[in-house]
Structure 1
Amino acid sequence: MHSGITNPIDFTREGRQGGHITIPYSVDRSPYYQIRIPVLRLKNGDGPGLLLMAGNHGDEYEGELLLGRLMRALDASKLRGAVTILPLANLPAVMAARRCSPFDGGNLNRAFPGDPAGTPTARLAHFLEAELFRAHDVVLDLHSGGSSMAHLPCTLIERQAGAARFQRALDLMRAMGASHAFVADNGPAAPTSMGAAGRAGAIGLSGEFGGGGTVTPQTMAFTAATIDRLLLALGLIDAPVLSRGPLPAPGPLQLLSLSRHSQGIYGERRGWFEPVVPLGATVAAGDLAGWYHDLESLDRPEEPLRFAEGGIVISHRLHCDSQAGDCLIQVADPISA
């Protein structure tokens, strides 16, 4: 079944192509409305094909802003290969400053492989996996903690089938220059963009590049350097495009694992969370993670929250006001590949 999505890009054509991927979606104010997602393709001869994508979640801005800048700055004549840029993938979520689409509530990063006859998010996921990812050798999907989380800057890959393919993914992730990285093991049926990239035959790369529904000079510089380093590692460019000044050589990389519920602390009731350890701290089981206050019962002492497991603190909730089920803070295990 055809999804109704239109794609303006000819993947065989040389030079610069721009336009919009369109998803028809009838709404009350406009029965023939189209969701128009900007896309740019640059191609110069033979070489690797890279898809750069942001806005999978709408409130994660480092990738969105920097890929928009890259669209303006990258010169097709200076490439060796092809780069496709999709800076606002889940456009309705981006424009609503939300994690998920306001049209259908869809979380794009849990929607793969999608459905060509489904909601807009499901149709977009199907198009990305079945067509766009399949047309590239490498996919980089840029994330952050979004509006509600602070996250340790890190990169991420899924464990790949085949030793050579896995080593290539590890090599590219090391070249991206982060100090911390995850090797996820969600299996071949994972509903994420990284699972979709693997099923489409591409090497999937991702990461968390900031948080808080904002950007900082540090997170923008980190993200810009990551994109430049990947373009350089693939041989697509000869010099950084986004970074100001020369790129230092990547330092040592600590791999991390997040695989158990017990690595997080979750709200058991409504409360107001006060973390006491910074991102990147090394903690032991039993260490104090924070305090849980009750502003509805001020005579009730704040509750100490303690880590069930040790590791490196990778994220914590930014919204002080929390509900039962909210993840308040997480640690990850240092591992080797």
Structure 2
Amino acid sequence: MNNEHIEVIQMDMEDFDHETLPLGSKAYYQLNYDSGMAEQGILPVCVIRGYSKGPRLLVMAAVHGDEYEGILALTELIPLMGPADVQGDLVVIPVVNVSAYYGGTRCSQADGKNLARSFPGDAEGLYTDRLAWHIRNTFIAKADFMLDLHSGGTHYAMPLMVGYDSSRNSRASILSQAAAESIGVEVIWGHESIPPGRTVSAASELSVPWLYMEAYGGQRIRQNELEAFRNAVLHLMNHMHMLSEPIRWVKESATSVSLRLTGDGNLDRSDEANCEGLFVPAVRLLDEVRKGTLIGVIYDWFGCPLQEIIAPSEGIVMMLREVPYTKPGDGLFTLALREKD
């Protein structure tokens, strides 16, 4: 963690510009926005500019406030790196949605909206819409690459994985896939199409290549996933030729990809519960299932089965509901397809 004395610069979001920071500098900011609104926003940002110009990498965590793996990975990495370590610009937002973070919730406390469904945002909208607008226009639009760190959070469980743009219909998508192969995570999930409202859909619209990462979640940080997140940032920087001394930061070659998946990655289309009860999974993450496989059962208080959850098709289990208590409409599982050779 950070034992150095740091000065946090208070600044209005409208006045923030990466380019005003001299080359060879490191700065910490608390950006304030919409100070005249009832729901004033703040955003913590660290910028490390190397002594020479190069790519600008944007790394973000806590778009959802109950996803802690990325936050800790970035807060551990930030103090270790300085301008001499970086070629280009590293822009880090350890907590994107401060309102959700304060509440330990997936959605913003200010208005109940999901930031990851609110892009491109609206400068005149509610809190979450305004936050999306600022993130898109102040940060994503000015990046050469974006990495967005997620996890299953409170209610879902997901495997450690990297998602990327597999459409191959643009230079950005080609760069996205190449980066996914080099980041050191065994499971990668390619998306030929991107549902709207996401950080990654905003990046695609701006022709900015992107990756996102997922981890198990459950409001607990697992050491192997924390290390994987931290190493993924370093492997990505190495892939982008942003490390002045790669051998200092990347001790081992990146882990090879062992499972390539395809699908739209839209958790909003997860198969849902149709009753209230206790969901008990019958499968595990990354299990390969066939059509008709029993995914799990919802029970009542006395152990009587209320609903059997059946796989509608073949696939790999990529999400399972983590919280047993389940209400009608709650998403229970998501499948992806193994990429064909």
* TM-score between both structures, scaled by the size of structure 1: 0.88
How big is each residue's C-alpha offset from its partner over 1:97-139, in whole Å with a ceiling of 9 and x where there is no partner? 1111111112111111111111221112112212211211001
Partner of 2:188: 181
Which 5+ residue runs of structure 2 have no aligned equivalent?
1-11
Partner of 1:24: 34
Retained in 2: the 8 A contact 1:55–1:89?
A: yes
For the aligned residue pairs, the C-alpha RMSD in angstroms reads: 2.5
- What's the offset of the Cα at 1:208? 0.8
Partner of 1:198: 204
- What's the offset of the Cα at 1:11? 2.2
Structure 1 residue corresponding to 2:331, chosen from 320, 327, 330: 327
Q: 1:198 is paired with a residue of what secondary structure?
A: helix
Partner of 1:55: 62
- What's the offset of the Cα at 1:306? 2.2
Retained in 2: the 8 A contact 1:156–1:173?
A: yes
Q: 2:154 is paired with a residue of what secondary structure?
A: helix
Letter in 2 for 1:254: L
Q: 1:277 is paired with a residue of what secondary structure?
A: coil
Partner Cα distance (2:267, 2:32) in 1: 39
How big is each residue's C-alpha offset from its partner over 1:264-291, in whole Å with a ceiling of 9 and x where there is no partner? 4320111211112111111111222122
- What's the offset of the Cα at 1:241? 7.5
Structure 2 residue corresponding to 1:250, chosen from 251, 255, 276: 255
Retained in 2: the 8 A contact 1:23–1:36?
A: yes
Structure-2 change in CA distance of 1:10 and 1:262 (3 Å): closer
Partner Cα distance (2:233, 2:159) in 1: 18
1:222 is the counterpart of 2:232? no
Alignment of 1:59-70 (within 5 A): 59-70=66-77
Structure-2 change in CA distance of 1:281 and 1:6 (3 Å): same
- What's the offset of the Cα at 1:83? 0.4
Structure-2 change in CA distance of 1:74 and 1:164 (3 Å): same
1:269 is the counterpart of 2:265? no
Q: 2:234 is paired with a residue of what secondary structure?
A: helix
Partner Cα distance (2:112, 2:306) in 1: 35
Structure 1 segments of 4+ aligned residues over 4 angstroms from their partners:
240-243, 259-264
How big is each residue's C-alpha offset from its partner over 1:62-99, in whole Å with a ceiling of 9 and x where there is no partner? 11111112221111112111100101111111111111
How big is each residue's C-alpha offset from its partner over 1:142-182, in whole Å with a ceiling of 9 and x where there is no partner? 01111011101111123456354322211101111222222
* TM-score between both structures, scaled by the size of structure 2: 0.87
1:316 is the counterpart of 2:326? no
1:76 is the counterpart of 2:80? no
Structure-2 change in CA distance of 1:293 and 1:25 (3 Å): farther
Partner Cα distance (1:120, 1:301) in 2: 42
Alignment of 1:1-337 (within 5 A): 5-12=13-20, 13-14=22-23, 15-25=25-35, 34-44=40-50, 45-160=52-167, 162-187=169-194, 190-237=196-243, 238-239=245-246, 246-259=251-264, 264-295=270-301, 298=302, 300-301=304-305, 303-336=307-340
What is the total number of aligned residue pairs between the two structures?
Answer: 325
Q: 2:130 is paired with a residue of what secondary structure?
A: helix
Q: 2:74 is paired with a residue of what secondary structure?
A: helix
Identity of aligned residues (%): 24
Structure-2 change in CA distance of 1:149 and 1:99 (3 Å): same
Partner Cα distance (1:115, 1:294) in 2: 43
Structure-2 change in CA distance of 1:117 and 1:167 (3 Å): same
Partner Cα distance (1:46, 1:262) in 2: 40
How big is each residue's C-alpha offset from its partner over 1:173-224, in whole Å with a ceiling of 9 and x where there is no partner? 111122222222445x821000111222311211212311221112112212
Retained in 1: the 8 A contact 2:65–2:106?
A: yes
Structure-2 change in CA distance of 1:36 and 1:271 (3 Å): same
Partner Cα distance (2:42, 2:268) in 1: 41
Q: 1:125 is paired with a residue of what secondary structure?
A: helix
Which 5+ residue runs of structure 1 have no aligned equivalent?
none
Letter in 2 for 1:112: F
